Structure 1
Amino acid sequence: MWKQAIEDALAKTKVNITRFGDLFPHVSENDIYDLNPNTDWTDGFWSGLLWLSYQYSGDQAFQEAAQKTVASFKQRLADNVALDHHDIGFLYSLSSKAQWILEGDEDAKQLTLQAADVLMKRWRPKGQYIQAWGPEGDEQNGGRIIIDCLMNLPLLYWAYEKTGDAKYQEVAVAHADLSRRYLVRGDDSSYHTFYFDQETGEPLRGGTAQGYHDGSTWTRGQAWGIYGFALSYHYTKNPLYLETAKRLARYFFDRLPEDDVVYWDFNAPVNAETKRDSSASAIASAGALEILEHLAADDPDRAYLEAGVQRSMAGLVKSYATIGKEDAQGLLERGSYSVRGGAAPDDYVIWGDYYYLEALLRLEKGFKGYWYE
């Protein structure tokens, strides 16, 4: 089942190389991907898809297309285009760092280290966090962290490994610790965002930008937490991170609906109109597979997590993948970008496509994505 799904995904991705040209897919409207000239936070996922496709197939068409995206990311950093946010890890881990991992390209390594320095500019020492959105001192977002940022921390951990400069590791660990304390709730659910006083660092309140309400559990946020804490464990071997990742994963898989692919928020009322988020299921599956990398064969959580991944991925392949739909631009249907905001609430989303293929390749070939070497 996994091999067929992979081959279908690679065939569609290859067609999309010509279809997208030098542009980058973001989310779809009427089943057509909206494209941008490398100005969005999601553009690394297209690069990552190309590198995954090349790593699996050895097809130079994927390699050449992926290399072109890295050249675009080099220009984006040189021009400082749309980099005033925390998603630098999403952009450069899956583009230039992927090239370094697969090809050993020294220029790609240096570009990735430069990107890590851009992310470090988001560090706010008074609160000991990486500011998610907006400029320093921003009235609305100046004191705000979001759970997604856990997936950007690997860029900093990696920079520490490559340079030996402890500042990268110290910032990543401080942010992970703060996220664990304030974004993860006592019942193992999670806040999407948390606010701190910008001057004192005092914790203020949890909230959301994407979820059903401030106290709900946005499924994609929970998935970011699963994978993000697992990656922090990989780099630091702090057992608290692995424990937290497992707790978040159990909460997620305990709440799978009948077809095993989650709705957009665990607290949203379920009816015929409730939106799904196939991307959340893909991310959580990839994250749980990362957790499994670190568990002993007799670990009591292993069987549960393996079953959760099998259910989620089988649900995606069976009911949400575009297998057999030759003209489909996306790999997964029924992803949601922002249900609350009405932005692509039931569409293709490029990060869903990326994590779907990453999870498939983990299952079939043991590939681990480009979060670490």
Structure 2
Amino acid sequence: MRKQAIEDAMKRIKRNINSFNGKFPHVGHHGSYERIENEDWTNGFWPGMLWLCYEYSGDRVYADAARKVTESFQRRLDSNTVLDHHDIGFLYSLSAKAEWFVTGNEDARALALRAADKLLERWREAGQYIQAWGPAGDEAQGGRIIIDCLLNLPLLFWAANETGEERFRRVALKQAEQSRRYLVRGDDSSYHTFIFNQHNGEPIGGTTHQGYSNGSTWTRGQAWGVYGFALAYRYTGDQAYLDTSKRMALYFIRHLPEDHVAYWDFNAPAGPDTYRDSSASAIVASGLQELLEHLPAADPDADELREGLMASVHSLIEHYSTMDDFAAEGLLKHGSYYVRGNLAPDDFTIWGDYYYLEALMRLERGIRGYWYAPQSDQGGQG
């Protein structure tokens, strides 16, 4: 079933290359993707999917399309187009860094390192954190970290490994620790965001931007934590990050409904009309594989985590994929972007599609995506 789902996804992606015509898929509207310019935080997921398809198939159609997309990311960084946020890691890990991992292209490596420098501009020394959104000193958005940033940190860890420059690692380590300390609650649930006094760094409190309420657990945020802390362990070997990832994963699995795919918030009143977020479950499907790779075989929770992974993947394929809808451009139905803001609360999301494909390919072929790569793996296919 996984192989069939991958082959179906690759056919849609190849068809979409010409259909998108240089634009980027963002969120769905009644079976089709909204096309946008390279100006959003989500734009890296499309080239990431293209590189996954190339690694899986060896078909240069995907690689050629991905390379053309990387040119757009070069222009975006050169012109500093809408980069006043922390999602530079999402953007450049799945475009330039992915191209370097797969082909060994030195220009792509240089672009990814420039992006890591750009991300460091978000560092706020007074509070010891990476500011999520807005310019320094912004009264509305200053002082804010969000759990999503954990998936931006691999760009910094990688840059530290590539250059030997400690400044990248120092910032990534501090941001990971601030996230673990302030965004993860005592019961292993999570805040979406935490606010500090941007002038002196004093912690103020946890809140949400996209969740049901300040005290609720937004499922996509919990998913970022599962995967992000597992990756932090990958880069640091710090057991605290592995333990945090595992606890958050168990919380996620144990709060799922019967079909093993998450609602948009664990605390939203559940009913027949409550929105799901298939993208949250897709992220966790990838994150669980990363987590399980590091857990010892005798870990008492390994079986529960593995069973949760397989149940979610099976449900995503059987009940949420578009395999039964030839005309659909997206891969995964019933994703939620921003429910409270009524922004694409029940349709395709390009990040959901990416993580769904990454999870399937890692299970089927060991292709794990572009958040990290050992030195010996770089420059593989040309």
TM-score by length of 1: 0.99
Structure 1, residues 74-122: CA drift from partner, whole Å, max 9, x if none? 1111111111100000000000100000000000000000000010000
Q: Which residue of 2 aligns with 1:219?
A: 219
**What amino acid sits opposite 1:35 in the alignment?**
R
**What amino acid sits opposite 2:361 in the alignment?**
L
Deviation at 1:255, TM superposition (A): 1.1
- Matches of residues 1-373 of structure 1 in structure 2 within 5 Å? 1-373=1-373
Q: Which runs of 5+ in 2 are unaligned?
A: 374-382
Structure 1, residues 25-44: CA drift from partner, whole Å, max 9, x if none? 00012222111121111000
Q: How far apart are the structure 2 equivalents of 1:14 and 1:302?
A: 37
**What amino acid sits opposite 1:110 in the alignment?**
A
Contact kept in structure 1, 2:31 and 2:327, CA below 8 Å: no
**What amino acid sits opposite 1:6 in the alignment?**
I
Q: How far apart are the structure 2 equivalents of 1:185 and 1:140?
A: 25
Q: How far apart are the structure 1 equivalents of 2:297 and 2:193?
A: 35
Q: How far apart are the structure 2 equivalents of 1:216 and 1:286?
A: 23
Deviation at 1:201, TM superposition (A): 0.5
Q: How far apart are the structure 2 equivalents of 1:121 and 1:94?
A: 20
Contact kept in structure 1, 2:126 and 2:201, CA below 8 Å: yes
| Matched residue SS, 2:44 | helix
Root-mean-square deviation (CA), in Å?
0.6
Contact kept in structure 1, 2:27 and 2:33, CA below 8 Å: yes
Deviates more, 1:287-296 or 1:332-341: 287-296
Deviates more, 1:213-222 or 1:133-142: 133-142
Runs of 4+ aligned structure 1 residues displaced above 4 Å come to none
Q: How far apart are the structure 1 equivalents of 2:301 and 2:336?
A: 29
Structure 1, residues 111-162: CA drift from partner, whole Å, max 9, x if none? 0000000100000011110000011111111000000000000000000000
Q: How far apart are the structure 2 equivalents of 1:367 and 1:234?
A: 16
**What amino acid sits opposite 1:190 in the alignment?**
S
Q: How far apart are the structure 1 equivalents of 2:45 and 2:325?
A: 22
| Matched residue SS, 2:322 | coil
| Matched residue SS, 2:28 | strand
Percent of aligned pairs with the same residue? 61
Deviation at 1:299, TM superposition (A): 2.0
Q: How far apart are the structure 2 equivalents of 1:240 and 1:259?
A: 31
**What amino acid sits opposite 1:332 in the alignment?**
L
Contact kept in structure 1, 2:29 and 2:347, CA below 8 Å: yes
Q: How far apart are the structure 1 equivalents of 2:307 and 2:140?
A: 41
Q: How far apart are the structure 2 equivalents of 1:74 and 1:321?
A: 33
Q: How far apart are the structure 2 equivalents of 1:83 and 1:113?
A: 15
Deviation at 1:297, TM superposition (A): 2.0
**What amino acid sits opposite 1:130 in the alignment?**
I
Deviates more, 1:108-117 or 1:361-370: 361-370
Q: Which runs of 5+ in 1 are unaligned?
A: none
**What amino acid sits opposite 1:54 in the alignment?**
Y
**What amino acid sits opposite 1:57 in the alignment?**
S
Larger RCO, structures 1/2 (Cα 8 Å, 6+ apart) = 2
Q: How far apart are the structure 2 equivalents of 1:29 and 1:139?
A: 34
**What amino acid sits opposite 2:298 in the alignment?**
D
| Matched residue SS, 1:43 | coil
Q: How far apart are the structure 1 equivalents of 2:142 and 2:44?
A: 25
Deviation at 1:337, TM superposition (A): 0.3
